[in-house]
Amino acid sequence: MDVNISGSLTHVLLIEDSSQVGHARRAAQQLAEQHGFGESDAGRVALVATELASNVLKHASRGELHLRLLPRAAGFGIEILAVDRAKGFDLDACLTDGFSTGGTQGIGLGAISRQTEVFDVYADARGAVLLARLFPRNDRQPDMRYGVSQHSLHHDPACGDVWHLAYKDSGISALVIDGLGHGEDAERAARAGEKAFALAPFNAPTVLMEDMHRDMMGTRGGAAAFAQFDGARDSLKFVGIGNIGASLIASDKSRGLASHPGIVGGQYRKAQPFDYAHVNGHLLIMYSDGLQSRWNLQDYPGLVHRHPAVIASVLHRDFCRGRDDVTVLVVALEAAHG
């Protein structure tokens, strides 16, 4: 199955008082209704958004709901993430049916998990991230195990970061571009590179980077990196120009992926790809320089085993610099896809 996934910004909803719970419910339901969810399925989305937002408000006092459209092979899914910085989150209690943090139906996150196609949680002393993904009931395709947290500086509608994922047979090709600066001109540069990438995401790396370079000429240019995973050969090729960070993560080790200096659309020396073997089952994490690079998943016991969308949100929550657009893309490298 061939699937191309192009990203949109994460829609952030602040949850600081009870009126914002209703707003979150309406925003999530409307997003679902606008993208192919029938009345019953959109109702599930509204219920999950309400319970997650209420949970944030009651146990953390404040936090955020992150809404995102999930492009699917046919149609769309809805992703909702509840993100907070509360300490002492009682995960076992919250997963018990009938438990209420106060003022909600008290149906429990365990019951909420049964309303969703994907549900995952990570909680420690730094806070909690709860993930819910919902698909229309007639969408039988399995979940695609990637996650992204993408935010523009000062919530600008234009974002200089772009990401793109392509799945083909047992291969995955993942791209992140950071257009120089931020705003519309940076977005224009990044989109030009993404358009070239999307035409042939599994092309030879040096040729593909040259195509992106050509199409980004006349724009600001930017930093760009992509990784091509070959599940049949259990190998990965990585090529990067500029300061896109990237790592391969296993449960017991981490490898940084090296980029070359330069500017795509500006000037760089020939981009030689690096090859990595025995990567099936690893996580690929790619990020723009809006994210600090001094993070280590080993500091978060068990996080490496959580859903990629949870990992992306935890890293964004704890390591966003706050002075540039930021994108964190996490992809599970798995040889077989639905």
Which structure tokens are listed for 300? 């978060």
Taking only the tens place, the pLDDT of each residue in 125-136 is 999 999 999 999
Average pLDDT, the chain: 91
Burial readout 75-114 (b: 16 or more C-beta within 10 A, e: otherwise): ebbbbbbbbbebeebeeeebbeeebbbeebeebbbebbbe
Distance CA 159, CA 227 (A): 22
Taking only the tens place, the pLDDT of each residue in 104-119 is 444 567 778 889 999 9
Distance CA 305, CA 303 (A): 5
Instruction: Identify the bridge partners of residue 164 per DSSP, sorted by sequence position.
Output: 6, 175
| pTM for the predicted model, two decimal places | 0.94
Q: Are 257 and 247 in contact (CB under 8 A)?
A: yes
Taking only the tens place, the pLDDT of each residue in 217-244 is 999 999 999 999 999 999 999 999 999 9
Cβ-based burial of 51 (10 A; exposed 0-12, middle 13-18, buried ≥19): buried
% the chain with pLDDT above 70: 92
**Residue-range domains of the chain with CATH:** 3-134 (3.30.565.10), 146-332 (3.60.40.10)
Over residues 187-207, the mean pLDDT reads 97
pLDDT reading at 97 higher than 70: no
Q: What angle do CA 126, 132, 135 make, to 5 degrees?
A: 165
Choice between 98 and 168, residue whose per-residue pLDDT is larger: 168
Q: How confident is the model at residue 93 (pLDDT cuts 50, 70, 90)?
A: low
Residue 323: predicted pLDDT? 85
